[in-house]
Amino acid sequence: METYKARVKIALEDGKIFEGFSFGAAGEKYGEVVFNTSIQGYQEILTDPSYKGQIVTMTYPLIGNYGVNFEDVESKSITVEGFIVKECSRIASNWRSEKMLDDYLKDNGIIGIEDVDTRALTRHIRMQGAMKAVISTEDMDNDSLVRKAAASPGLVGRDIVKEVTCSEPYDRNEKGSIKVAVLDCGVKHNILRHLESRDCAVTVFPAKTGAEAILKIKPDGILLSNGPGDPEGAPYVFETVRELLGKAPVFGICLGHQMIGLALGGKTYKLKFGHHGGNHPVKDMRTEKVSITAQNHGFCVDIDSVRSKGVEITHMNLNDNTVEGMESDKLNFFSVQFHPEAGPGPNEAAYLFDRFIDNIREKK
Protein backbone atom coordinates (compact mmCIF):
# COMPACT_ATOMS: atom_id res chain seq x y z
CA MET A 1 0.00 0.00 0.00
CA GLU A 2 1.45 3.37 -1.06
CA THR A 3 2.03 5.93 1.68
CA TYR A 4 -0.11 9.06 1.40
CA LYS A 5 1.90 12.10 0.35
CA ALA A 6 0.66 15.62 1.04
CA ARG A 7 0.67 18.24 -1.69
CA VAL A 8 3.16 21.09 -1.62
CA LYS A 9 3.21 24.30 -3.62
CA ILE A 10 6.08 26.57 -4.58
CA ALA A 11 5.08 30.12 -5.45
CA LEU A 12 7.56 32.53 -7.03
CA GLU A 13 7.25 36.28 -6.67
CA ASP A 14 6.60 36.64 -10.42
CA GLY A 15 3.43 34.53 -10.09
CA LYS A 16 4.83 31.21 -11.32
CA ILE A 17 3.50 28.18 -9.40
CA PHE A 18 5.02 24.69 -9.16
CA GLU A 19 3.41 21.74 -7.40
CA GLY A 20 4.66 18.49 -5.94
CA PHE A 21 4.38 16.18 -2.96
CA SER A 22 5.81 16.49 0.51
CA PHE A 23 8.67 14.70 2.20
CA GLY A 24 10.55 15.83 5.27
CA ALA A 25 8.74 18.31 7.52
CA ALA A 26 5.46 20.15 7.03
CA GLY A 27 4.93 23.89 7.27
CA GLU A 28 5.75 27.02 5.30
CA LYS A 29 9.09 28.66 4.54
CA TYR A 30 10.28 31.47 2.32
CA GLY A 31 13.64 32.08 0.65
CA GLU A 32 15.34 32.78 -2.65
CA VAL A 33 14.91 29.78 -4.96
CA VAL A 34 18.11 28.65 -6.75
CA PHE A 35 19.31 25.52 -8.54
CA ASN A 36 22.37 23.35 -7.91
CA THR A 37 23.93 21.25 -10.70
CA SER A 38 25.84 18.75 -8.52
CA ILE A 39 25.01 15.09 -9.06
CA GLN A 40 26.06 14.06 -5.54
CA GLY A 41 26.84 15.67 -2.21
CA TYR A 42 23.28 16.61 -1.25
CA GLN A 43 24.13 16.24 2.45
CA GLU A 44 26.98 18.73 2.18
CA ILE A 45 24.73 21.09 0.21
CA LEU A 46 21.97 20.89 2.83
CA THR A 47 24.42 21.81 5.61
CA ASP A 48 26.42 24.47 3.75
CA PRO A 49 25.87 27.76 5.67
CA SER A 50 26.19 29.67 2.38
CA TYR A 51 22.67 28.44 1.53
CA LYS A 52 21.03 30.18 4.47
CA GLY A 53 18.08 32.14 3.12
CA GLN A 54 17.70 29.98 0.01
CA ILE A 55 15.46 27.17 -1.24
CA VAL A 56 17.61 24.74 -3.23
CA THR A 57 16.49 22.87 -6.34
CA MET A 58 18.63 19.91 -7.41
CA THR A 59 18.91 19.46 -11.18
CA TYR A 60 20.04 15.83 -10.85
CA PRO A 61 16.80 13.81 -10.81
CA LEU A 62 17.36 11.15 -8.09
CA ILE A 63 18.39 12.42 -4.65
CA GLY A 64 18.76 10.47 -1.40
CA ASN A 65 19.89 7.15 -2.88
CA TYR A 66 22.93 6.80 -0.58
CA GLY A 67 21.18 8.07 2.55
CA VAL A 68 22.69 10.32 5.21
CA ASN A 69 25.57 9.88 7.66
CA PHE A 70 26.78 12.08 10.49
CA GLU A 71 30.34 12.61 9.23
CA ASP A 72 29.81 14.44 5.92
CA VAL A 73 28.12 17.52 7.33
CA GLU A 74 29.48 21.02 6.68
CA SER A 75 27.94 22.70 9.74
CA LYS A 76 26.03 21.84 12.90
CA SER A 77 22.63 21.67 11.19
CA ILE A 78 20.78 21.93 7.91
CA THR A 79 20.85 25.54 6.71
CA VAL A 80 18.73 25.55 3.53
CA GLU A 81 15.20 26.93 3.85
CA GLY A 82 13.66 24.22 1.66
CA PHE A 83 14.72 21.38 -0.66
CA ILE A 84 13.24 20.61 -4.10
CA VAL A 85 13.95 17.40 -6.04
CA LYS A 86 12.48 15.37 -8.86
CA GLU A 87 12.51 12.14 -6.85
CA CYS A 88 13.50 11.41 -3.25
CA SER A 89 14.78 7.83 -2.94
CA ARG A 90 13.22 5.73 -0.18
CA ILE A 91 16.05 3.20 -0.48
CA ALA A 92 19.61 3.95 0.72
CA SER A 93 22.37 1.83 -0.84
CA ASN A 94 25.54 2.74 1.06
CA TRP A 95 27.31 1.06 3.98
CA ARG A 96 27.89 4.45 5.63
CA SER A 97 24.21 5.40 5.63
CA GLU A 98 22.75 6.07 9.09
CA LYS A 99 19.45 7.71 8.15
CA MET A 100 17.12 8.26 5.21
CA LEU A 101 17.00 11.72 3.63
CA ASP A 102 13.26 11.98 4.31
CA ASP A 103 13.80 11.39 8.05
CA TYR A 104 16.83 13.71 8.11
CA LEU A 105 14.80 16.63 6.79
CA LYS A 106 11.88 15.81 9.09
CA ASP A 107 14.12 15.71 12.17
CA ASN A 108 15.55 19.13 11.25
CA GLY A 109 12.22 20.78 10.43
CA ILE A 110 13.02 21.25 6.73
CA ILE A 111 10.34 21.02 4.04
CA GLY A 112 11.14 18.79 1.08
CA ILE A 113 9.15 18.63 -2.14
CA GLU A 114 9.38 15.97 -4.86
CA ASP A 115 7.63 15.14 -8.12
CA VAL A 116 8.37 18.69 -9.24
CA ASP A 117 9.30 19.42 -12.85
CA THR A 118 12.79 20.52 -11.81
CA ARG A 119 13.84 21.03 -15.44
CA ALA A 120 11.07 23.57 -15.96
CA LEU A 121 11.85 25.29 -12.65
CA THR A 122 15.57 25.45 -13.47
CA ARG A 123 14.87 26.83 -16.93
CA HIS A 124 12.56 29.47 -15.45
CA ILE A 125 15.26 30.59 -13.01
CA ARG A 126 17.86 30.71 -15.80
CA MET A 127 15.60 32.83 -17.96
CA GLN A 128 14.07 35.08 -15.29
CA GLY A 129 16.71 34.96 -12.55
CA ALA A 130 16.73 33.70 -8.97
CA MET A 131 13.80 35.18 -7.09
CA LYS A 132 11.92 35.18 -3.83
CA ALA A 133 9.63 32.22 -3.23
CA VAL A 134 7.43 30.49 -0.67
CA ILE A 135 7.19 26.72 -0.21
CA SER A 136 4.12 25.51 1.71
CA THR A 137 2.29 22.36 2.76
CA GLU A 138 -0.45 24.48 4.39
CA ASP A 139 -1.61 27.26 2.08
CA MET A 140 -2.84 25.99 -1.31
CA ASP A 141 -4.21 29.33 -2.55
CA ASN A 142 -2.05 30.52 -5.46
CA ASP A 143 -2.77 34.23 -5.09
CA SER A 144 -2.10 34.14 -1.36
CA LEU A 145 1.21 32.34 -1.85
CA VAL A 146 2.39 34.73 -4.56
CA ARG A 147 1.63 37.69 -2.27
CA LYS A 148 3.62 36.04 0.52
CA ALA A 149 6.56 35.43 -1.82
CA ALA A 150 6.57 39.03 -3.03
CA ALA A 151 6.36 40.37 0.53
CA SER A 152 9.12 38.14 1.92
CA PRO A 153 12.58 39.61 2.61
CA GLY A 154 15.09 39.13 -0.19
CA LEU A 155 18.85 38.76 0.08
CA VAL A 156 19.95 42.19 -1.18
CA GLY A 157 21.14 44.37 1.69
CA ARG A 158 20.17 41.77 4.31
CA ASP A 159 22.61 40.53 6.95
CA ILE A 160 22.39 36.73 6.99
CA VAL A 161 25.96 36.23 8.21
CA LYS A 162 24.83 36.92 11.78
CA GLU A 163 22.50 33.90 11.54
CA VAL A 164 25.25 31.36 10.75
CA THR A 165 28.41 32.62 12.47
CA CYS A 166 29.62 31.11 15.74
CA SER A 167 28.66 32.86 18.99
CA GLU A 168 32.05 32.57 20.68
CA PRO A 169 35.65 31.97 19.53
CA TYR A 170 36.81 28.36 19.60
CA ASP A 171 40.01 26.43 18.88
CA ARG A 172 40.73 23.36 16.77
CA ASN A 173 43.96 21.33 16.53
CA GLU A 174 45.74 23.37 19.21
CA LYS A 175 48.96 21.35 18.75
CA GLY A 176 49.45 22.63 15.19
CA SER A 177 52.64 24.60 14.51
CA ILE A 178 51.02 27.25 12.27
CA LYS A 179 48.55 29.60 13.94
CA VAL A 180 45.63 30.54 11.67
CA ALA A 181 42.73 32.83 12.57
CA VAL A 182 39.47 32.14 10.74
CA LEU A 183 36.82 34.86 10.51
CA ASP A 184 33.63 32.80 10.53
CA CYS A 185 30.98 34.16 8.17
CA GLY A 186 29.50 30.66 7.86
CA VAL A 187 32.64 28.55 7.54
CA LYS A 188 32.31 25.05 6.14
CA HIS A 189 33.84 22.26 8.20
CA ASN A 190 35.91 21.10 5.24
CA ILE A 191 37.83 24.39 5.23
CA LEU A 192 38.83 23.73 8.83
CA ARG A 193 39.70 20.12 7.97
CA HIS A 194 42.06 21.29 5.21
CA LEU A 195 43.81 23.68 7.60
CA GLU A 196 44.14 21.04 10.31
CA SER A 197 45.60 18.52 7.85
CA ARG A 198 48.33 21.07 7.09
CA ASP A 199 49.46 21.35 10.72
CA CYS A 200 47.46 24.49 11.49
CA ALA A 201 46.27 25.42 14.97
CA VAL A 202 42.99 27.12 14.16
CA THR A 203 41.12 29.77 16.14
CA VAL A 204 37.67 30.52 14.75
CA PHE A 205 36.24 33.97 15.48
CA PRO A 206 32.62 35.22 15.22
CA ALA A 207 32.00 37.47 12.23
CA LYS A 208 31.56 40.59 14.38
CA THR A 209 35.01 40.23 15.95
CA GLY A 210 37.15 43.33 15.43
CA ALA A 211 40.62 43.33 13.90
CA GLU A 212 42.29 44.14 17.22
CA ALA A 213 40.94 41.00 18.90
CA ILE A 214 42.00 38.82 15.96
CA LEU A 215 45.50 40.28 15.78
CA LYS A 216 45.86 39.92 19.56
CA ILE A 217 46.51 36.17 19.17
CA LYS A 218 49.34 37.00 16.72
CA PRO A 219 48.15 34.74 13.90
CA ASP A 220 50.61 33.55 11.27
CA GLY A 221 47.80 33.79 8.72
CA ILE A 222 44.15 34.81 8.45
CA LEU A 223 41.41 33.00 6.51
CA LEU A 224 38.19 34.79 5.56
CA SER A 225 35.48 32.18 5.18
CA ASN A 226 32.57 31.55 2.89
CA GLY A 227 29.08 32.63 3.96
CA PRO A 228 25.57 33.47 2.78
CA GLY A 229 23.84 36.39 1.15
CA ASP A 230 24.82 39.90 0.16
CA PRO A 231 28.31 40.94 1.36
CA GLU A 232 27.17 44.56 1.53
CA GLY A 233 24.58 43.48 4.11
CA ALA A 234 27.37 42.84 6.66
CA PRO A 235 29.55 45.99 6.56
CA TYR A 236 31.13 45.16 9.92
CA VAL A 237 32.93 42.27 8.20
CA PHE A 238 34.58 44.20 5.37
CA GLU A 239 35.45 47.03 7.78
CA THR A 240 37.35 44.49 9.88
CA VAL A 241 38.95 43.01 6.75
CA ARG A 242 40.15 46.48 5.76
CA GLU A 243 42.09 46.68 9.03
CA LEU A 244 43.50 43.17 8.67
CA LEU A 245 44.91 43.50 5.15
CA GLY A 246 48.68 43.85 5.22
CA LYS A 247 49.02 42.67 8.84
CA ALA A 248 49.41 38.95 8.03
CA PRO A 249 48.96 36.68 4.99
CA VAL A 250 45.25 36.56 4.14
CA PHE A 251 43.29 33.95 2.17
CA GLY A 252 39.70 34.77 1.22
CA ILE A 253 37.17 32.16 0.06
CA CYS A 254 33.83 32.96 -1.61
CA LEU A 255 32.16 35.56 0.66
CA GLY A 256 35.62 36.23 2.09
CA HIS A 257 36.78 37.07 -1.45
CA GLN A 258 33.86 39.48 -1.85
CA MET A 259 34.60 41.09 1.51
CA ILE A 260 38.16 41.80 0.38
CA GLY A 261 36.77 43.48 -2.74
CA LEU A 262 34.58 45.74 -0.60
CA ALA A 263 37.41 46.38 1.88
CA LEU A 264 39.51 47.69 -1.00
CA GLY A 265 36.77 50.13 -1.95
CA GLY A 266 35.40 48.00 -4.78
CA LYS A 267 31.80 47.02 -5.46
CA THR A 268 29.78 43.82 -5.60
CA TYR A 269 26.62 42.99 -7.54
CA LYS A 270 23.98 40.28 -7.65
CA LEU A 271 24.27 37.63 -10.34
CA LYS A 272 21.18 36.73 -12.34
CA PHE A 273 20.92 33.17 -11.01
CA GLY A 274 24.22 32.66 -9.22
CA HIS A 275 26.78 29.88 -9.45
CA HIS A 276 25.76 26.73 -7.57
CA GLY A 277 27.25 23.33 -8.32
CA GLY A 278 30.38 21.28 -8.89
CA ASN A 279 31.10 21.78 -12.59
CA HIS A 280 32.17 25.41 -13.06
CA PRO A 281 35.28 25.95 -15.24
CA VAL A 282 37.73 28.53 -13.91
CA LYS A 283 40.87 29.67 -15.72
CA ASP A 284 44.08 30.58 -13.90
CA MET A 285 45.19 33.68 -15.84
CA ARG A 286 48.88 33.06 -15.09
CA THR A 287 49.19 29.41 -16.06
CA GLU A 288 46.16 29.25 -18.39
CA LYS A 289 45.22 26.03 -16.60
CA VAL A 290 41.48 25.40 -16.33
CA SER A 291 40.11 23.79 -13.16
CA ILE A 292 36.61 22.42 -12.67
CA THR A 293 35.44 23.97 -9.42
CA ALA A 294 32.72 23.80 -6.78
CA GLN A 295 30.80 27.05 -6.40
CA ASN A 296 27.98 28.46 -4.31
CA HIS A 297 27.34 32.19 -4.45
CA GLY A 298 24.79 34.67 -5.73
CA PHE A 299 26.93 37.82 -5.62
CA CYS A 300 30.17 38.77 -7.37
CA VAL A 301 32.97 41.33 -7.22
CA ASP A 302 32.72 44.00 -9.92
CA ILE A 303 35.94 43.46 -11.85
CA ASP A 304 36.21 47.07 -13.04
CA SER A 305 35.82 48.40 -9.50
CA VAL A 306 38.94 46.59 -8.23
CA ARG A 307 41.29 46.90 -11.22
CA SER A 308 42.28 50.38 -10.08
CA LYS A 309 42.95 49.24 -6.50
CA GLY A 310 46.34 47.74 -7.27
CA VAL A 311 45.16 44.13 -7.35
CA GLU A 312 45.85 41.48 -9.94
CA ILE A 313 42.97 39.44 -11.34
CA THR A 314 44.18 35.83 -11.13
CA HIS A 315 41.16 33.70 -12.07
CA MET A 316 38.18 34.08 -14.42
CA ASN A 317 34.97 32.11 -14.83
CA LEU A 318 34.80 30.68 -18.35
CA ASN A 319 30.99 30.49 -18.35
CA ASP A 320 30.30 34.19 -17.87
CA ASN A 321 33.70 35.93 -17.54
CA THR A 322 33.14 36.98 -13.94
CA VAL A 323 36.15 37.48 -11.65
CA GLU A 324 37.02 34.32 -9.69
CA GLY A 325 40.30 35.32 -8.03
CA MET A 326 42.54 38.24 -7.17
CA GLU A 327 45.66 39.01 -5.19
CA SER A 328 47.99 41.74 -4.01
CA ASP A 329 51.64 41.29 -3.07
CA LYS A 330 51.63 44.67 -1.34
CA LEU A 331 48.72 43.77 0.94
CA ASN A 332 49.78 40.12 1.12
CA PHE A 333 46.45 38.51 0.24
CA PHE A 334 44.92 36.27 -2.36
CA SER A 335 41.31 35.23 -2.72
CA VAL A 336 39.06 33.06 -4.84
CA GLN A 337 35.32 33.09 -5.49
CA PHE A 338 35.07 29.32 -5.83
CA HIS A 339 35.40 26.65 -3.10
CA PRO A 340 38.86 25.02 -3.04
CA GLU A 341 37.78 22.84 -0.11
CA ALA A 342 35.02 21.25 -2.26
CA GLY A 343 32.64 19.30 0.02
CA PRO A 344 30.95 18.48 -2.32
CA GLY A 345 32.67 18.92 -5.62
CA PRO A 346 35.96 18.35 -7.44
CA ASN A 347 39.22 18.63 -5.50
CA GLU A 348 41.28 20.25 -8.26
CA ALA A 349 41.68 23.56 -6.40
CA ALA A 350 42.83 22.16 -3.03
CA TYR A 351 46.38 23.27 -3.89
CA LEU A 352 45.36 26.79 -2.85
CA PHE A 353 45.53 25.75 0.80
CA ASP A 354 49.15 24.71 0.20
CA ARG A 355 49.80 28.09 -1.35
CA PHE A 356 48.34 29.80 1.72
CA ILE A 357 50.67 27.79 3.98
CA ASP A 358 53.62 28.61 1.71
CA ASN A 359 52.79 32.32 2.00
CA ILE A 360 52.73 32.03 5.78
CA ARG A 361 56.06 30.20 5.94
CA GLU A 362 57.70 32.80 3.73
CA LYS A 363 56.67 35.52 6.18
CA LYS A 364 57.60 33.66 9.39
Give the separation between CA 190 and CA 8, rounded to whole angstroms.
33
Q: Minimal CA–CA distance to 32: which of 225, 185, 229, 258?
A: 229
257 catalytic, yes or no? Answer: no
**Three-state DSSP class for 97?**
coil
Q: Where are any strands of DSSP class E within 15-130? A: 17-24, 28-36, 54-58, 62-63, 82-84, 87-88, 111-114
Q: What share of the chain is helix, strand, coil (3-state, %, to 5)?
A: 25, 35, 40
CB 294 within 8 A of CB 345: yes
Give the separation between CA 322 and CA 22, rounded to whole angstroms.
37
163 catalytic, yes or no? Answer: no
CB 178 within 8 A of CB 244: no
Bridge partners, residue 316, by sequence: 283, 323
HSE-CB at 34 with a 13 A cutoff on CA atoms is 29
Give the separation between CA 266 and CA 204, rounded to whole angstroms.
26
Among 254, 276, 280, 300, the one annotated catalytic: 254
Which residues, 6+ apart, have CB-to-CB distance to 2 below 8 Å? none
Which residues, 6+ apart, have CB-to-CB distance to 69 below 8 Å? 43, 94, 96, 97, 98, 99
CB 275 within 8 A of CB 295: yes
254 catalytic, yes or no? Answer: yes
**Three-state DSSP class for 183?**
strand
Among 124, 275, 280, 339, the one annotated catalytic: 339
- Annotated active-site positions, please? 254, 339, 341
